[in-house]
A and B are shown apart, each in its own frame.
Chain A
């Protein structure tokens, strides 16, 4: 595996809600190699968005964050606001889920991109505007000079997503985080947006962290996969390792749900996700897993390396991968 760009250790995120505690991340350890295209896959409530927001500390006041996040050997969790602002958008850029909502409705799109550019590279107003038009054109928006003066409501969903990609592109970040960048877009546009994200990442020689619930998206966009469930990392490995020889029962069960057959019934995972208000003693998937034994309820599984670079947090990882 390549040199680590992002190193996360023991990351815990809790929210205080009405005298109760919600455990959103329960001790996440992971590493993202420089130049990789890494997917974080998980279902709603798995903590995938919480994780990325934690990296940039874009969290509400009731959040408690512990652990360590090192980006190019620099600890992010102890940075002050001013230092953090340089990292956000500058070295780490993010493309959010709902592009229309991520843009300011009161400012022309080009102006918003230019502002980001000025903030991070210190160029003048006129030059920043030129750069904004340039990146808009680079993301495939036609007549970019004219469209830069338009407001977000004049953009279609696909165009708004392109504008956000342009905004991420303008600062030439080393890490690009894309959080469900295709949700709400129609299929033709989805494929274009994904292709564009890949193109931008290749052009900048950047690292991609793609957050998604859709394994179909992951299969050909990413080379590394991190599977999350209930605030924990269940499995990590290359795309081929995880999709072809899953070593965690959760991954295997989820993959089965995506398979298509002409006969019979649709696979599903029985039960429901654990109560995030309770601390966990055993494995978070124990309540729904077909292989559960006593130890699963008593002891939290540590990640086991079943093949070089392929880790699974399951007491029986070896059995699963051989099955």
Chain B
């Protein structure tokens, strides 16, 4: 967060975003999707963002790509606040920020071959002429380990894993500075997730390659690819740190719960997990003034209900939003 600000490719500062649901009489109901989220992505770095469905991770992605406007806070791309740019200023930058979606099948036009889809993406690179673009299609397919023979195929002719690699090729096409990967492995079976993860490992090795924000609810896959990890829930970052800090010395109860759920035979604790936890408690009824996770936390104390929790640095580079982080083990 501090120190290397000069190298930051992307900085998100105190981002907030809420959606209004419906108007009931005089009152309007709001859902807070992002509540003061800050994060930094350095050049060529892979940052993992872990959260459940509804935690705000996809909203963050859409704000970063300038598809949604923040209510508060700033997003700086190479030091420029993207939400303050005019359409004309933003347009040339747009191709530098790419996205890969969760469902590879629905993210391709079923009427286009893979080559046509990639040529479409390459149209954003004005310095290439037609023949160079065709050549690039072959190179991109090689780069994602598919090979040129896939160029003529339609999406329905490919498996989910192959199609997701094609989606990564398409994101690479406009030569982006970073790619936002939104649950790229969630729709794939465990036995083939490794194909996508290993491809990312190869792309990370390339000099001058893009940085990645890898959004997932499955911590397992981040262990291989992430340099740093942010844990988000209910629109809040509850913990952040290096991959080793998060995997070997997680401090927040929520991070620990995520890790336990992802590993075989580490769940002895679940047997008594009934303690103080109730699934029926909705976001609204969680203590407004106190910790958001109060209702779900087995370590909750009376103080948790009174004080809002703040993100604090517990180890160099590791931030935790829990006052009891040092005590619970």
Contact = CB atoms under 8 A, between A and B. Distances in A.
Contacts of A158: 279-280
B241 to A, nearest CB: 15
A111 to B, nearest CB: 19
Interface size band for B: 35 or more
Interface stretch (A14-22, A69-77, A256-264, A295-303): A256-264
A188 B257 contact: yes
Given A158-B280, A192-B277, A257 B271 contact: no
A195 B224 contact: no
Contacts of A260: 220, 223, 263
Interface in B229-287: 244, 247, 254, 257-258, 260-265, 267-268, 270-271, 273-274, 277-280, 282
A87 interface: no
Given A156-B279, A188-B296, A191-B273, A268 B191 contact: yes
A216 interface: yes
B190 A43 contact: yes
Contacts of B224: 265-266
Interface in A212-238: 213-216, 219-220
B278 A156 contact: no
Contacts, number: 109
A140 interface: yes
B265 A220 contact: yes
Nearest to A214: B190
A242 to B, nearest CB: 12
Nearest to B190: A257
B264 A269 contact: no
A46 B198 CA distance: 25
Contacts of B194: 257, 265-268
A134 to B, nearest CB: 17
Interface residues of A, number: 40
B49 to A, nearest CB: 15
B195 interface: yes
Contacts of B247: 262
Interface in A174-193: 184, 186-193
A142 B280 contact: yes
Nearest to B272: A195
A258 B258 contact: no
A265 B223 CA distance: 10
A159 interface: yes
Interface string B9-33: 0000000000000000000000000
User: Which are the 10 A-B pairs with shortest beta-carbon distances?
Assistant: A268-B194, A158-B279, A266-B194, A186-B52, A269-B191, A43-B189, A187-B261, A266-B197, A189-B279, A188-B296
23 contacts: A43-B191, A187-B260, A187-B261, A189-B279, A192-B277, A192-B279, A193-B279, A195-B271, A195-B273, A215-B190, A215-B264, A216-B263, A216-B264, A220-B265, A258-B190, A260-B223, A262-B223, A265-B194, A265-B201, A268-B191, A268-B192, A269-B191, A269-B192
Interface of B: 52-54, 159, 161, 189-195, 197-198, 201, 220-221, 223-224, 244, 247, 254, 257-258, 260-265, 267-268, 270-271, 273-274, 277-280, 282, 296
